[in-house]
Amino acid sequence: MVVKKPRIVIVGAGMAGLTAANKLYKKGAFEVCVVEGGNRIGGRINTSEFGGDRIEMGATWIHGIGGSPVYKIAMESNSMESDEPWECMDGFLDDPITISENGFVLNPSLVDPVSNLFKNLMDFAQGKSNGIGNGGQDGNWHGNGNGSVGSFLRKGLEDYWRLESRKEKEEVNGYGNEYGNGNGNGYGYGNGNRKMLEEAIFAMQENTQRTYTSANDLYNLDYNAESEYVMCPGEEVTIAKGYSSIIQSLASVLPCGVIQLGKKVCKIEWHPESDVQTIENGHDDTRPVKLHFLDGTIISADHVIVTVSLGVLKAGIHDSDDSGMLKFSPPLPNNKIEAISRLGYGLVNKLFMELSPDFTDQFPFLQLVFHRSDSEVKNPKIPWWIRRTATVWPIYKKSRVLLSWFAGEEALKLETLSDEVIRDEVSTTLSTFLSNSSDSHEQCNGNVIENSSKVNLVKVLKSKWGNDPLFLGSYSYIAVGSSGCDMDTLAEPLTKSGSHPLQILFAGEATHRTHYSTTHGAYFSGIREANRLLEHYQCMD
């Protein structure tokens, strides 16, 4: 008598799905199938090419090499070295130039205290330090407005100003050189109001933090959960042969046919514990779960590991007649629906820009300081969607390819714009920033920009994670009103007991309480669910 192996169907061929498939297939005790709605594997990992350089449209960094399974795979697969140029971001932390929208380089004596304050506040919020220092609160302070990271940061800035009240009293005399051209009026703050400029520098740091978290507004980011988030120790690095090399390594053990592309799941039928007796013989066997695909086909399974994004889960729980959305029949339990609803899921997009050949200098690593959007002296030529990006950097020191990151509403707007509009508006913005930089060459850390009145871009390339129906965004965060417990709830399998337990399991970065939003968090979640099944079948080593 031939005993059928348990059939495990994994929905999604991203990091979590392929990690689980890799581990389960190598055990040899299961029939493993990976169904992927798109035409490629990798999920939110997508290495591409632009301007002759290898780039990442999605996941970019190994966030700490210490204990990172991603770094281990990269080393084992010899992916950390390449003869071809790639998005290595060398030098981006080496004294970037901070420049105002009217083109004046800001002296580090003005920028550094505010940037250090921001770093100290975030370190305190993340539990990395017991005191804020630098004029901020001490370690005994825990007040935080509405419980958001945004309110905590702004209270820290207000306290910094209050405790450094000299900034309110000092005259503009002596601050002129901090604007790069010898007087504060060039920035457009009248008598060089230092406080307004400090707020603009602080906002620049906030906008960088938005891209780290994917939150459209840091006031949506839960303060208490921030200290639960765990960083891997060690430096953060990019992968020379591309992040997709990690995906290829995981998939390499799977024989042809295990991964099925173009198979978008629209409904997953499962049976709660109280309904197990109603399972009838299907078209092939009594396997309790059935996956319905957009192409009309059906696959039955003993267990399904769902690794779709939190954005796809959010879209699926809303009442909708859209047949393309992932639905569960019967619907997920209320506690899981509520957790999905409360958790935050945001959008981050990358914009790559290739400089025209007539720009002969090495483009500097720029930090951009904008006026407030309600300021009367803001430059009307700079569109609103650019005003909350914080940086423009070459992807390596001598590359002609520049990179900016966008989050939230600005990232969504970016997806709707034509390449021609993006080229024109970004060129205008960069030209505005660099218009007066020649007055301040000594401030530019060796990056002298000659003839920089106009920055021309040959072409641009943007990621579009927000409107992609397979992702509907970038990665998760703990929103105000939710907690890490919601991620634990999301990770709980259905069902836990009965004659057909573990019908639906959940993996993906949004199911990992301490490493959410990362590829290694997705990896850990895939291992977790594979181990759950191995333990169930007593197949653990």
Cα 382 to Cα 434: distance, rounded to the nearest angstrom: 13
Q: Output the six-digit token pair for 27.
A: 């055990």
Residue whose pair of structure tokens reads 């998005």 in the numeric block: 87
The answer on 487 and 448 residing in a single domain is: no
The answer on 265 and 410 residing in a single domain is: no
Sign of the CA dihedral running 205, 207, 209, 212: negative
**What CATH number should be reported for the domain holding residue 499?**
3.50.50.60
Assigned domain for 256 exists:
yes
CA dist list (Å): 339 to 184, 207, 230, 490: 50, 27, 21, 7
Assigned domain for 163 exists:
no
**Where a domain ends, among 436, 462, 488?**
462
CA dist list (Å): 124 to 215, 224, 228, 371: 19, 11, 12, 28
The answer on 329 and 364 residing in a single domain is: no
Cα 419 to Cα 405: distance, rounded to the nearest angstrom: 16
Report yes or no: 316 and 469 within 8 Å, Cβ to Cβ.
no
Cα 117 to Cα 113: distance, rounded to the nearest angstrom: 6
pLDDT of residue 4: 85
HSE-up of 445 (CA within 13 Å, CB side)?
A: 18
CA angle 416–421–425, rounded 5-degree value: 115
**Where a domain ends, among 462, 487, 511?**
462
Assigned domain for 135 exists:
no
Q: How many Cβ atoms from other residues are within 10 Å of residue 330's Cβ?
A: 10
Cα 391 to Cα 107: distance, rounded to the nearest angstrom: 17
The answer on 342 and 356 residing in a single domain is: no
Total length of the chain:
541
Cα 188 to Cα 435: distance, rounded to the nearest angstrom: 15
Residue whose pair of structure tokens reads 């594979």 in the numeric block: 530
The answer on 329 and 471 residing in a single domain is: yes
Provide the β-strand partners of residue 350: 405
- Spell out the residues 6+ positions from residue 1 whose beta carbon is closer than 8 angstroms to its own: none
Report yes or no: 330 and 272 within 8 Å, Cβ to Cβ.
yes
- Spell out the residues 6+ positions from residue 27 whose beta carbon is closer than 8 angstroms to its own: 534, 539
The answer on 336 and 477 residing in a single domain is: yes
The answer on 307 and 267 residing in a single domain is: yes
Q: Output the six-digit token pair for 375.
A: 């300021």
pLDDT of residue 22: 98
Assigned domain for 191 exists:
no
- pTM confidence score: 0.91
Q: What DSSP designation does 7 have?
A: E
The answer on 294 and 358 residing in a single domain is: no
Cα 417 to Cα 424: distance, rounded to the nearest angstrom: 11
Q: Which domain holds residue 520?
A: 7-84+239-274+285-346+467-537
Assigned domain for 214 exists:
no
Number of domains comprising the chain: 2
The answer on 311 and 457 residing in a single domain is: no
Report yes or no: 505 and 304 within 8 Å, Cβ to Cβ.
yes
Assigned domain for 367 exists:
yes
pLDDT of residue 398: 86
The answer on 448 and 353 residing in a single domain is: yes
The answer on 395 and 258 residing in a single domain is: no
Q: Output the six-digit token pair for 482.
A: 């939710």
CA dist list (Å): 463 to 17, 46, 504: 22, 10, 31
Cα 86 to Cα 48: distance, rounded to the nearest angstrom: 10
The answer on 451 and 400 residing in a single domain is: yes
Assigned domain for 149 exists:
no
Cα 124 to Cα 227: distance, rounded to the nearest angstrom: 8
Q: Output the six-digit token pair for 88.
A: 């290595």
**Where a domain ends, among 425, 446, 462?**
462
Report yes or no: 406 and 349 within 8 Å, Cβ to Cβ.
yes
**pLDDT tens, position by position, for the chain (541 residues)?**
567 899 999 999 999 999 999 999 999 999 999 999 999 999 999 999 999 999 999 999 999 999 999 999 999 999 999 988 999 887 666 778 999 987 889 999 999 999 999 999 999 999 988 776 654 444 444 455 469 999 999 999 999 998 876 555 654 444 444 444 434 444 444 434 788 899 999 999 999 999 999 999 999 999 999 999 998 999 999 999 999 999 999 999 999 999 999 999 999 999 997 655 544 444 446 899 999 999 999 999 999 999 999 999 999 998 666 667 999 999 999 999 999 999 999 999 999 999 999 887 888 899 999 988 888 778 889 999 999 999 999 999 889 999 999 999 999 999 999 999 999 999 999 998 987 655 444 444 444 455 455 789 999 999 999 999 999 999 999 999 999 999 999 999 999 888 899 999 999 999 999 999 999 999 999 999 999 999 999 987 7
Amino acid at 291: L
Assigned domain for 145 exists:
no
Q: How many Cβ atoms from other residues are within 10 Å of residue 388's Cβ?
A: 22
